[in-house]
Structure 1
Amino acid sequence: MHLYAKVIISFFFLLLLTRIMGKKQMSQLTHFNYITGITLGSLSASVITEKHIPLYQGLLAVGIWSGLTLLLGFISTKSRSVKRMIDGAPMILIRHGRVDQKALASTKITIDDMILLLRQKDVFSVSEVDLAILESNGSISIYKKQEQTPAAKYIPTQIVADGQALKKNLNELGLSESWLLHELAKTGGRNTRIKDIFYAEVLGDGSLHVERYTGR
C-alpha cells in the first residue's frame, strides 16, 4: 500500500480511537497515561513507516493496545485498589508546616523540586503550608494555614467516592465509618447507604457536602 494511503487511514483510525478513549489522555496525564500515549504513538509510527508490517496488522495492534487501556480504565472506575495500582495514590509531603521526609524520599522528589512546586503555587515558605499533597499526575495541591479565628475544625477532605468510603482519608481526620454513616443519616435518612453516595467531603466546620447518584 502506498505510504500516503497508510498515513491517511492511520490518521482517521487514530482520530476515532482518541474520540473513544476520551479526554483523560490530555487532562489527567498520570504516569500510566503518559506511557500509554507514547506507546500508542510509537505503534502508529511503525504502522506508517515499517513496510514489512501489513496495515491491517498494525491497526489491529493499535486497536488492541487502546482496548486494553480502555479496559483498565473501566476496571479502575469500579475498583479503587486497581486505580491506585495503575495511577498511584496521592502523597502528603507537608503536614502542619513540617516536611514529611519519608514521603519525599518515596516519591523520588528532592527538596528543591518540592520548593519549586510550592513557588508555582505562590507559596514561598514551607511554614505557610498546613497541608501539601502530591497528586497522582505529579501536580501539587496546597492548603495554607488559616489566619482567621476560630480555626477550621477540619481540612476539607474527600471521604466518599463512587459509593466507597475512603478509609485512609477518614483515618487521617480521626473519623470512623460509623461516624460517616451517622452523618449521612442526618442528610438523607436512616436508610442512607454509602454505596448510594457518589461523592462526599468533610467541610472545614465538620459538616458534609454530599452528592448522591442521579437516576437511581
Structure 2
Amino acid sequence: MQAFDIKRMTLDKFPLEYLGEVTFRCFFIFVVVFIFLKLTGRRGVNQLSLFEVVIILTLGSAAGDVTFYDDVPLLPVFAVFFSILLLYRLSTWLMDKSRHFQNWMEGKPLIIIRDGMFEWETMARENITKGEFYMELRQKGVEHLGQVRLAFLEANGGLSVYFRQEDDVEPGLPVLPEDYIDIETLMMTSGLYACHRCSLIKSFKVGEKATCPRCQNITWVRALSTVRV
C-alpha cells in the first residue's frame, strides 16, 4: 500500500457515481431518524433518560454505517428502526402501567441536599461525588449549601434546586471552585466550618483540628452565611 495515495484516499475502488448513492443514503437515514424521533415524542437532548440514551446509542451504528458502506442494504436498517420503535412504545406503555418498572428503567429522583447539607448516605450509596454538580449549583446562583432547602438529582441527570427564604439562610459549605476557598486541617481562625467532603457544620477555635464524625474527613472550609441577591 502506498502512503498518501490520492485515489485510495478519495474514492478508492468506488466510481464517481457512488457519491450520488451516498447522498441518497444520507437523505434516507435523515428521513428515517427524523420520523423515528417524531413518533417517539422526542424531548430536548438535556432531558434524555438513561433508557433513551441506550436507544440512541443502539441506533447510532445502524444510522451511521448505512450512509456510506456499500454493502449495507437500506431495508434491514429500516427494520432496525421499526423494531426499536416498537420496543420503545412497549416500554413506555409498561412504564405508564407500573411505577416499579419505570423506576427500574429510568431511575428516580434522589435527594442530594436537604436543609443545607449533603445527603451523605445517598451520595455514598450511589457513588456520587460533589464535583459532578458543583458547577450546576453555581449556575443556579448557589454560593453555599446553607442557601438550599432541597436539591434533587433527577433521573435524566439534571439538578432541581429549592431555596430557603432570605431570613432562613444558615451557614453552609461553599460551592466555589477550590482555587477560591481555603481548605484547612488546622483552623486559622475561630468560627463555623463545613466539612469539605460531606458539608457537616462544626464550630472550631483557633489551632483546633478534627476528623469529621460523619464521613471521617479531615479537611474543613470556613462556612459562608451570605444570602442570595
**TM alignment of 1:148-163, pairs within 5 A:** none
Give the C-alpha shift of residue 72 in structure 1. 1.0
Alignment equivalent of 1:75, drawn from 73, 81, 94: 94
Instruction: Indicate whether 1:114 and 2:122 are aligned.
Output: no
Cα 1:104/1:77, change in 2 over 3 Å: same
Cα 1:100/1:12, change in 2 over 3 Å: same
Give the C-alpha shift of residue 126 in structure 1. 0.9
Give the C-alpha shift of residue 59 in structure 1. 1.3
Cα 1:25/1:146, change in 2 over 3 Å: closer
**TM alignment of 1:25-44, pairs within 5 A:** 26=45, 28-44=47-63
Give the C-alpha shift of residue 50 in structure 1. 3.0
Deviations 1:188-207 (A, max 9, x none): xxxxxxxxxxxxxxxxxxxx
Q: After the TM superposition, which of the residue ranges 28-37 and 130-139 deviates more from structure 2? A: 28-37
Q: Does the Cα contact within 8 Å between 1:97 and 1:131 map onto a contact in 2?
A: yes
Alignment equivalent of 1:102, drawn from 121, 125, 149: 121
**TM alignment of 1:165-184, pairs within 5 A:** none
Q: Does the Cα contact within 8 Å between 1:47 and 1:59 map onto a contact in 2?
A: no
Calculate the TM-score normalised by the size of structure 1.
0.61
Q: Distance in 2 between matches of 1:13 and 1:61?
A: 11
Q: Does the Cα contact within 8 Å between 1:25 and 1:33 map onto a contact in 2?
A: no
Deviations 1:167-203 (A, max 9, x none): xxxxxxxxxxxxxxxxxxxxxxxxxxxxxxxxxxxxx
Q: Does the Cα contact within 8 Å between 2:36 and 2:81 map onto a contact in 1?
A: no
Equivalent residue, structure 2, for 1:24: 43
User: What stretches of structure 1 of length at least 5 have no aligned partner?
Assistant: 150-216
Give the C-alpha shift of residue 137 in structure 1. 1.0
User: What stretches of structure 2 of length at least 5 have no aligned partner?
Assistant: 1-17, 169-229
Instruction: Indicate whether 1:48 and 2:63 are aligned.
Output: no
Letter in 2 for 1:87: E
Q: Over the residues paired in the alignment, what is the CA RMSD in angstroms?
A: 2.2
Larger Rg over CA atoms: 2
Equivalent residue, structure 2, for 1:8: 27
Deviations 1:75-119 (A, max 9, x none): 212221111111101001111112111211233321222322211
Deviations 1:138-169 (A, max 9, x none): 111111123469xxxxxxxxxxxxxxxxxxxx
Identical columns (%): 28
Cα 1:115/1:62, change in 2 over 3 Å: same
**TM alignment of 1:171-210, pairs within 5 A:** none
Alignment equivalent of 2:164, drawn from 108, 126, 145: 145
Letter in 1 for 2:54: I
Cα 1:25/1:47, change in 2 over 3 Å: farther
Letter in 2 for 1:71: L
Number of aligned positions between the proteins: 149
Give the C-alpha shift of residue 25 in structure 1. 5.8
Calculate the TM-score normalised by the size of structure 2.
0.58
Cα 1:29/1:101, change in 2 over 3 Å: same
